Amino acid sequence: MAEPLLSVEHLDVSYDGAVQALRDVSLEVAAGSVVAVLGSNGAGKTSLLRAVSRALGSYGGAVTGGTIRYQGVDLAGLDTSTVVRRGLVQVPEGRRVFRDLTVEENLRAGGFTVRDAKARDEARDRVFDLFPVLAERRTQLGGLLSGGQQQMLAMGRALMTSPQLLLLDEPSLGLAPLLVDQIGEIVTTINAQGTAVLLIEQNAVMGLRVADRAYVLEVGHVTAAGSADELAASDDVRQRYLGAAAPERPAAVVVTEPGIPTAEAPKRLAVEGLTVRFGGIAALSEVSFAVEPGTVHALIGPNGAGKSTCINVLGGAYRATEGRVTYGEDELTALPSHRTAGLGVARTFQNISLALEDTVEDNLLVGRHRLMRSGVLASALRTPGARREERAHRSTVRDIADLLGLGPLLHVPVHSLSYGNRKRVEMGRALAARPSLLLLDEPVAGMTHGESQEMAETIRQVRRDLGLSVLLVEHDMPFVMGLAEQVTVLDFGKKIAEGTPAEVQRDPEVLRAYLGASAA
Amino acid sequence: MSYFLTQVLNGLSYGLVLSLIAAGFAIVFTSTGVLNFAHGSIVLLGAYLVAVLHPTIGFWPAMLVALFGAALVGVLINALLVRNLADPEPGAAAILMLGVDIVLLTELTRRIGNQVLPVGAPWGASVVRFGDIALPTGRVVAAGVTVVAFAALWYLFSRTDLGVGMRAAAADGPTASLMGIRLSRTAATGWALAGVLAAVAGVFLTSFPSPGVAPTIALSAFAAIPAWVLGGFDSVPGAVVGGLLIGLTSALVTGYEGDLEHVLGAGFGEVAPYVVMIVVLLVRPSGLMGSKEAVRV
Amino acid sequence: MKHLPRTCALTAAAVTMLSLAACSTTDPNASGEGGGGEGDVTTGSGVTDSEITVGMLTDLSGPFAAGAAVQVTQTNAYWDQVNADGGVCDRDVVVDVQDHGYDPQRAVTLYRSMAPDVIALQQVLGGPTSAAVLPLAEQDDVYVGGVGWTGSALQYENNQLPGASYAIEAANAVDYLVDELGVPEGGRIGVVYFAGDYGGDALAGAEHAAEERGVEIVAQEITSQTTDLSAQASALVQADVAGVVLAAAPTQLASLAGVLATQGADVPIVGMNPTFNPSLLGSPVADALVANAYSITSVAPYASDAPGVQAANELYASVAPDGDVGWEVPLAYVQGELLRQALEGACEAGELTPEGVVAALQESSSVDTDGLLPDGLDYSQPGQSPTTTVYVSKVGAAAEAGLALLEEFSGPSAESFSYGG
């Protein structure tokens, strides 16, 4: 058997000399093959890629044991630039295109190490063949591309060096299923042209479909390895990562009495003829729907459908160009954004925006800000009134933390929490303002099937215990199906369907536009 | 009318020199994230090198040495100090730069003493006349050189691998390094470029209508800070526009001080650049051309 | 607190009268107060049987280090010469030189630690530093010399100004422009000045003189960072000024002269004390300077042939043959000379103490310095300039240190100028 292109043996990686990210990881990538590494957030997948691409140093990480050999050469002591020149390139997680550079300049930066002008022109032509849309948009800024196009640009950028081994970090993250299929096909095409691929994914469906071999990484360990088919057949993997065989979890909700002062009763949210334009482009056109008091309503659609724009208008971050949004008697679209919160509307953000160095409690207290009565002076002087008020806020925050299962973590800094728990803190901060309507922007983005099931349970419980309405924006269809009473589907800024999850799931328009090839 | 035009041309030509300095601030900031408060003394260093070398080796060779010298000092500051900073916070780096500035300035001040050292520019104190408007030849040369320098910068940043690599590194360092771009090289290039621009500006700041190299030149370089800030911290075109705006403002406010004095008080010409800066930042907090700290929500 | 300076002054006056009385009645054989053999003098801080210590707070590491070094060299040489000739009051004078680096805080600290061990301060160099030390020294009744020429320093009765203040210089400049350099009545004179004490004092003098002489002032305020005076020069040309008074530094003189010349404005520029430096004659604007630049100084310029100046220059040449020459050379010499006269006055009065030196200073109503400063300096009028006479020089390529002395000059506006009036 020929020597593998890449062999990782007994690799240990730690950050800041303390946090151990990988322990005794071994894997191989044969020349011309596709290898997938599956695992949930925090499993150490990204650390593995960084170790191979020699980029750990800039994140404070270091290889503390084991070896990485590429083309038979030990990579210890080499820097990123050197391994790139030897044909080993990483595409970073989250695409990370250079937003202020044009598509062409992005590719040029990708081919930085290629000194031969002819070789580079050929590489660029290959990239344009593979991604014709990039050729069309070659003079546009990277930041103006859609999510899927940015992923293509990120891959095209790496292909500029004509690599022998391409490292892909979560290429399907945050993309709609149709695009995930497309990216999968592209990976297969790239591989067919002779490039070996090491791909890390939490979307096991995608990972196992394109890979020859796969490894499962959990908390820094390899827990399973084998051919893609073997793993796809393994019950454990199916249950954990594919969601296919996973039974609906029993609704074992511990009904606690949260003792949280009840918010005002939820009111009806009505969106009527909402249109939002940026420059000449309509992000939303004449969208209307209503959220009935006390229900969970889902707004779904592929990337770029206008979901985030819609929630940003509701939260007051964007102005509506036309149309109106009313909550009960109040017209949200006529109010400045800081007043929205005063009406009992709170939101979470797609990208977690927490103060990482502060404790969970402090982050949750930020959500109480609107309700704080003591002035700056009274707080600073710690008057009895201010102290009493502070105690009341802390107690409310503790109740919310208990409800979300964050009780034991109250005094832990946020940066040491797992991704799922951070998402919970984000939700808790919104809940701390005692809203009667909670807007959730992609609450399970980046979570494995198992994690998103837990999140669904949390949302159900919050709705039940606090009696509020929830509007959630999501593109994870199965997640929404088990949770929402009503679903509104957007595509290209227009409403294309509405109804119960079951109705929407059968709508041929939705199947075609949203679920893509795999649903056909 | 010709008085007005004289003041406008004075302002614009001085503004171009300021924009050279402001562009140096902006390039160092984008390539290493450092607020380079030692830039003023690098300007002084460039001019000083020309002043001490030109009597022996001639003006142009001295100029060449000064360009290399200033670039080298920039590269060394980056390699020896900035990269080894234990805490790579912008604040820590800025304070470090203030320290470097004091060290450089003290040493240069000691060497210059109370002399005013002429830089020996070949255009001397001659003037170019356009009708009844006289403009110092040095300023006309400065305008020409500045335009050429900015054209070269534009070419570098949009047409060469190195320039595109530098922009990529500035936009997202970790990702750029995954493309094989060595951040240490792009950073060094940025510091060297800023040094070259500083030396060029230093010579123009100290040749006629200024008499020569005196330590206060390092302070004059700080007049470029409002130009840099109002152009947007990270934008070279912004630095050009900012420099022109500041040059024009101070020339006109000073030139019409007699008429404005009753409204604005004496000496307003000295604070006018900062007033313009503050007004611009109130209207556009990220400067005229700076990239917005936009977070997609 | 507020009354303290006055109390001190009264005390000083009382001491003076006592010592005068002592002087007039002294029988050389009768007094035994000092008990130290040689002289019958009371001694205080900084004085032993064999030595008198004077302090010098200067800037050896800050922006004025170069000029300060010349002054330190010359001051030491001056006192060495005095000591070689027998010293003062039969004692050698030693100078305790300390470096304040142009930092007022450091100057104050140095003053505090030095005060118990010196009889007087030869010099506190720099505006902000001397402004910090002067009030403290006044409370302690310690003589301070060499703090420059700003009018604000005159309010301290322990301070000895080496010649005319800036306001007097500027008033003379206007007088000289009108009387000698052809500025007509009703004409305009530009005043370009640094914001702050120095420029402000000069502007006040120029404005007073303009009123007296019926001319109009066109004022332009700048800072030391302004090294390109194109805009100011254009404004002056636009205002059609017939002469310019400049209270700034050499950089500004060169720029202004150069730009005015290129704009075809052939008008005289009269600079105050610190505006000229011989190195300007190597710059491209040398011709413009030679054509139009004048310098008004309180101290006779280096090129003066007065015996005092010659002595100062010879002394400096003997201790620093390769040193930079300039206005610091006669200045440092005359500052030493002024302090020597005050020390000797105190000695004669039998009060070789800090208070005695201040008292001797306030007694001196007609000080002569062999032509280094105008004759007849009057330090008995607190708050006013000791003289109205200044030296007018013309920038000249052939002159030593670049300045050729034209005349001693005291104009009518300078004579009518009075601080606080």
Q: How confident is the prediction for chain C on average, in pLDDT? A: 85
Contact C65, B110 (CB under 8 A): yes
How many contacts, defined by CB atoms under 8 Å, are there between A and B?
Answer: 86
B to C CB pairs, distance under 8 Å? 156
CA-to-CA separations, B219 to B24, B105, B254, C231, in angstroms, rounded: 15, 10, 19, 18
Give the one of B125, B220, B250 whose C-beta lies nearest to C284's C-beta: B125
B113: contact with C, CB 8 A cutoff:
yes
C-alpha gyration radius of chain B: 19
pLDDT at res. A35: 93
Sheet of A437-441: strand order equals: A345-347, A437-441, A469-474, A296-300, A486-491, A494-499
Round to whole Å and give the CA distance between C2 and A89: 78
Question: A340 vs B241, which has greater pLDDT?
Answer: B241
Which residues from B are below 8 Å from C258, CB to CB?
125, 136, 208-209, 211
CA nearest to C73, candidates C346, C328, C365, C340: C328
Query: Distance (Å) from the C-alpha of residue B167 to the closest C-alpha of chain C?
Result: 34
Write the pLDDT tens digit of every residue in B33-61: 888 889 999 999 999 999 999 999 999 99
Distance CA C63, CA B110 (A): 8
How many CB atoms neighbour CB A235 within 10 A? 8
Q: How far is CA A425 from CA A316, A371, A409, A432, B291, in A?
A: 22, 19, 10, 10, 31
A117, two tokens = 């002008």
What is the rounded distance in angstroms from the CA atom of residue B96 to the CA atom of residue A323? 54
Encoding tokens for residue A137? 């948009």
What ipTM is given for this predicted complex?
0.82
Enumerate the H helices of chain B as residue ranges.
Answer: 2-32, 39-57, 59-76, 90-112, 137-159, 161-171, 173-178, 183-206, 216-221, 224-231, 236-255, 257-264, 268-283
All domains of chain A, ordered by start, with CATH?
A: 1-87+163-247 (3.40.50.300), 96-161 (no CATH), 266-344+436-520 (3.40.50.300), 362-434 (no CATH)
- Dihedral angle sign, alpha carbons of residues C234, C239, C244, C246: negative
CA-closest candidate to residue A438, choices A400, A390, A393: A400
Chain A interface disruption, residue of B32, B166, B178, most A CBs within 10 A: B178
Q: Considering the entire predicted model, what is its pTM?
A: 0.73
Angle between helices C230-238 and B236-255 (to 10 degrees): 30
Residue C273 DSSP class: G
Structure tokens given for B247:
């040059």
Whether residue B297 and residue A157 make contact (CB cut-off 8 A), yes or no, is no
The reply to whether C222 touches chain B by the CB within 8 Å rule is: yes
Q: Do C284 and B210 touch (CB under 8 A)?
A: no
Q: Please identify which residue in the block is written with the tokens 């005291």.
A: C410
Give chain C positions within 8 Å (CB) of B116.
250-251, 254, 277, 279-280, 283
Please give the domain boundaries of chain C with CATH numbers for all domains.
Answer: 4-163+305-363 (3.40.50.2300), 166-297+390-416 (3.40.50.2300)
SS3 A60: coil
Closest to C293 (Cα-Cα) out of C301, C305, C285 = C285
For B157, which residue in chain A has the nearest alpha carbon?
Answer: A105
Is residue B184 less than 8 Å (CB to CB) from chain C? no
Answer yes or no: are the C-beta atoms of C174 and C195 closer than 8 Å. Answer: no
Q: What is the DSSP code string of A201-222?
A: ES-HHHHHHH-SEEEEEETTEE
* pLDDT of the residue at A382: 67
- Count the neighbouring beta carbons within 10 Å of the beta carbon of residue B66: 28
Closest by Cα among A159, A143, A207, A206 to A178: A206
Whether B168 sits inside 8 A of A59 (CB atoms) is no
pLDDT at C8: 43
- By the CB < 8 Å criterion, does A92 face chain B? yes
DSSP state of A317: S
Whether residues C258 and B109 touch (CB distance < 8 A) is answered with no
Closest CA of chain A from B159, distance in Å: 9
Residue B158 DSSP SS3: helix
At A104, which helix (H) or strand (E)? helix A103-110
Residues A309, A275 contacting (CB under 8 angstroms): no
**What pLDDT, in 10s, does the model give residues C110-153?**
999 998 999 999 999 887 888 889 999 999 899 998 888 888 88
Give pLDDT < 70 ranges for chain A. 1-2, 17-18, 41-42, 174, 238-263, 279-280, 303-304, 337-338, 351-352, 370-382, 446, 511-520
**Residue C312: which H helix or E strand, with range?**
helix C307-319
Asked if the Cβ–Cβ distance from A100 to B176 is below 8 Å, we say no
Coil, strand or helix: which one is B136? strand
Instruction: Test A98 with B172 for CB contact under 8 angstroms.
Output: yes
Would an 8 Å CB–CB cutoff place B282 in contact with chain A?
Answer: no
Strand segments (E) across C203-318 = 216-222, 243-247, 269-271, 293-297
Residue of B nearest to A55 (CA): B178
CB C356 within 8 A of CB C19: yes
> Which residue of chain B has the CA closest to A353?
B297
Domains of chain B by residue range: 2-222
CB contact under 8 A, B181 and A350: no
CA nearest neighbour of C259 among A67, B136, B72, B231: B136
List of chain B residues whose C-beta atoms are within 8 Å of the C-beta of residue C202: none
CB-CB under 8 Å, B220 with C231: no
Cis check for the bond before B55: say yes or no (omega within 30 of 0): no
Using pLDDT thresholds of 50, 70 and 90, give the confidence band for residue C296: very high
Record: contact B207-C226, CB cut-off 8 A: no
Residue B144 identity (one-letter amino acid): G
How many whole angstroms separate alpha carbon C93 and alpha carbon C80? Answer: 8
CB-nearest to A112 from B165, B172, B295 is: B165
Kindly report, residue by residue over A13-44, the tens digit of the pLDDT: 888 766 778 889 999 999 989 999 987 766 78
Give the number of residues written for chain A. 520
Q: Give A370-416 as a DSSP string.
A: GG--S-HHHHHHT-HHHHHHHHHHHHHHHHHHHHTT-GGGTTSBGGG
Can you tell me which residue has the tokens 């892909």?
Answer: A168
Task: List pLDDT tens digits, range B128-185.
Answer: 888 777 788 888 999 999 999 999 999 998 888 899 999 898 888 888 988 889 888 9
Residues 13-52 of B with CB under 8 A from C: 14
Residues β-bridged to residue C52: C47, C93
- Coil, strand, or helix at residue A499? strand
Which residue on chain B is closest to C283 by alpha carbon?
Answer: B118
- Contacting residues of B for C195, CB less than 8 Å apart: 267, 270
Beta bridge partners of C270: C245, C294
Tokens of C335: 């500052």
The per-residue pLDDT for range A144-166, each reduced to its tens digit, is: 887 788 889 999 999 999 899 99
